[in-house]
Amino acid sequence: MKKHIVVQKYGGSSVANIDRIKTVAKRIVDSKTTNNHLVVVVSALGDTTDELEEMAFSITKTPPEREMDMLMSTGEQISCALLAMAIKTMGRDAISLTGQQVGIQTDKAHTRARIHTICGQRIRKALSKNQIVIVAGFQGVSLEQEITTLGRGGSDLTAVALAQALKAKVCEIYTDVKGIYTTDPRIVKQARKIKTITFDEMMEMASLGAQVMQARSIEVAKKFNIPIHVRSSFSKEEGTMIVKNKEKLEEIAVRGVTRNKSEAKITICAVPDQPGIAAKIFSAVSQTGANVDIIVQNISHTRHTDISFTVLKKDIHKALTAAKKIAEKIKAGDVLHEDDIARVSIVGSGMRSHTGIAALMFQTLAKNKINIDMISTSEISISCIISSEQSDKAVQVLHKAFNLDKIK
Ligand code: ADP
Ligand code: ASP
Ligand code: MG
């Protein structure tokens, strides 16, 4: 009989220490049957990746990206070897493999590489010997044989990409919460677990700050229609299914609330109000590699205008330098920056057909004396930039205002 392939991924908190590694090993051994093959992707132990990153930044503010990948990829190499050992001591055969050994071929964009192909031959060979294959997540190799990493949270992407390449029957993401919630359960105690969510909604929530899944992994899952089961590594309970379409005909307006503190704001004051000026500013900023997100330009009554925009905090240094240079060139005024901002967003496919959603969001923030600095919308989300200090409160009041604590 042909066996089916199951891909499982265990996140950093699920393998944070030796006891947890043993618990995960037991769970893997228990899920191995005579009918299946197991391919397990694992993240680095606990906060290892953050710690490695900190070490690099304590040496230099601008670590070379190639060396960053050499460094960051070591975390997953440790966890996959330890997990394979733990499984072997339980009497099951297992083998750990790095991204390179598995043949995860990427482009050469260090620290944010994209997967081109997965060879998978080595995995198939190990599976044919009935070995449990443990793959180091978050890493690949370029055509030039350089080690690359897939962006933070990239082990999710490794899992989804392997599920596609191996035509797996099941793709399970094991983490430290019981599934996808209406908002981060660390911010709102009453957050509810969602039974099913669409790829589109999950992608929007992930890119707006719901850390639980990497946005790029959902992009791949959507492209190849790979359903994902997100569940707890500490309990047997069913988690959340991320799927193409939900069975319900009518969508509820708001499915979740997210918060993201990864952006900072730059304002260029007194910009001359002439054609071509915005093009000059944003060409200069984008040439640094910084990704500009929300842009607000105030109406001009004086032939001068203030332009504000957000970039990722990690890019603020280069974006600010470029903004100051171009401001001088175009004879604008001061360049200000603010780090203590947060983006609070509401997400839901049903927004397309419901009215009054934005109004309720703004009223709720106003009632709670939370000032809105910038606003941005997409077809299925509305985001407000507010002060970081007020963002916990904002998430809590929005969660309640949209009755997310009551969904079944
Ligand atoms: P892992 O180490 O398993 O990859 P992460 O830390 O990357 O796990 O993601 C899990 C965390 O994501 C949870 O502990 C939770 O606090 C956070 N999170 C943020 N938003 C959500 C949400 N909407 N649903 C579930 N978890 C969320
Ligand atoms: N260890 C990597 C990170 O912390 C990849 C992952 O955990 O998914 O971002
Ligand atoms: Mg993660």
What is the residue with the minimal CA distance to atom 8 of ligand 2?
153
Strand, helix or coil for residue 67: helix
- Percent of the chain clearing pLDDT 70 (strictly above): 99
Instruction: Please give the number of the atom of ligand 2 that sits closest to the Cα of 12.
Output: 7
Q: What is the pLDDT of residues 38-51, one digit of tens each?
A: 999 999 999 999 99
Average pLDDT for the chain: 95
Spell out the domains of the chain, with CATH numbers in brackets. 4-176 (3.40.1160.10)
Q: How confident is the model at residue 246 (pLDDT cuts 50, 70, 90)?
A: low
pLDDT attached to residue 62: 83
Strand, helix or coil for residue 167: coil
Residue 23 has which token pair? Answer: 């618990």
- Using a 6 Å cutoff on CB, does residue 46 contact ligand 2? no
Instruction: Please give the number of the atom of ligand 2 that sits closest to the Cα of 152.
Output: 9
Instruction: Check: CB of residue 232 under 8 Å from CB of residue 239.
Output: yes
Q: What is the pLDDT of residues 155-176, one digit of tens each?
A: 999 999 999 999 999 999 999 9
Q: Put the strands of the sheet holding 292-297 in their side by side order.
A: 292-297, 304-312, 263-272, 335-338
Q: What is the pLDDT of residues 95-105, one digit of tens each?
A: 999 999 999 99
Strand partners, 161: none
Q: How confident is the model at residue 303 (pLDDT cuts 50, 70, 90)?
A: confident
- Using a 6 Å cutoff on CB, does residue 158 contact ligand 2? no
Ligand at shortest distance from the CA of 155:
2
From the CA of 360, how far away is ligand 1's center (Å)? 27
pLDDT attached to residue 280: 95
Q: Read out DSSP for 280-339?
A: HHHHHHHTTTPPEEEEEEPPPSSSEEEEEEEEEGGGHHHHHHHHHHHHHHTT---EEEE-
Ligand 1 lining (C-beta closer than 6 Å): 11-14, 43, 153, 175-177, 180-181, 183-186, 210-212, 256
Mean pLDDT for the stretch of residues 234-244:
95
pLDDT attached to residue 357: 95
Instruction: Check: CB of residue 133 under 8 Å from CB of residue 39.
Output: yes
| 290 residue type, one letter | A
* DSSP one-letter code for 377: E
Q: What is the pLDDT of residues 323-348, one digit of tens each?
A: 999 999 999 999 999 999 999 999 99
pLDDT attached to residue 309: 96
pLDDT attached to residue 368: 98
Per 3-state DSSP, the chain is made up of helix, strand and coil in percentages (nearest 5) of 40, 25, 35
Instruction: Please give the number of the atom of ligand 1 that sits closest to the Cα of 174.
Output: 3
Which of 177, 182, 208, 260 gets mutated to test ligand 1 (max ligand atoms within 8 A of its CB)? 177
From the CA of 86, how far away is ligand 3's center (Å)? 22
- Using a 6 Å cutoff on CB, does residue 152 contact ligand 2? yes
Strand partners, 338: 265
Give the whole-angstrom CA distance, residue 263 versus residue 240: 28
pLDDT attached to residue 319: 95
Give the whole-angstrom CA distance, residue 105 versus residue 85: 26
* pLDDT value at 249 more than 60: no
Ligand at shortest distance from the CA of 12:
1
* pLDDT value at 408 more than 70: yes
Instruction: Please give the number of the atom of ligand 2 that sits closest to the Cα of 138.
Output: 5
pLDDT attached to residue 314: 84
Which of 9, 42, 45, 138 gets mutated to test ligand 2 (max ligand atoms within 8 A of its CB)? 138
From the CA of 69, how far away is ligand 2's center (Å)? 12
Instruction: Check: CB of residue 141 under 8 Å from CB of residue 70.
Output: no
Q: What is the pLDDT of residues 375-406, one digit of tens each?
A: 999 999 999 999 999 999 999 999 999 999 99
Q: Name the phi and psi angles at 2, rounded to 5.
A: -75, 130
From the CA of 58, how far away is ligand 3's center (Å)? 24
Residue 364 has which token pair? Answer: 């709720």
Instruction: Please give the number of the atom of ligand 2 that sits closest to the Cα of 158.
Output: 8
Predicted TM-score (pTM) of this structure: 0.94
Give the whole-angstrom CA distance, residue 27 versus residue 117: 30
- Using a 6 Å cutoff on CB, does residue 137 contact ligand 2? yes
- Tell me the angle at which helices 155-165 and 215-224 cross, rounded to the nearest 10 degrees: 10
* DSSP one-letter code for 168: -
Instruction: Check: CB of residue 171 under 8 Å from CB of residue 38.
Output: no
What is the residue with the minimal CA distance to atom 9 of ligand 2?
152
- Using a 6 Å cutoff on CB, does residue 99 contact ligand 2? no
Residue 26 has which token pair? Answer: 């037991």
From the CA of 42, how far away is ligand 3's center (Å)? 10
- Percent of the chain clearing pLDDT 90 (strictly above): 90
Q: What is the pLDDT of residues 28-38, one digit of tens each?
A: 999 999 999 99
Give the whole-angstrom CA distance, residue 64 versus residue 31: 41
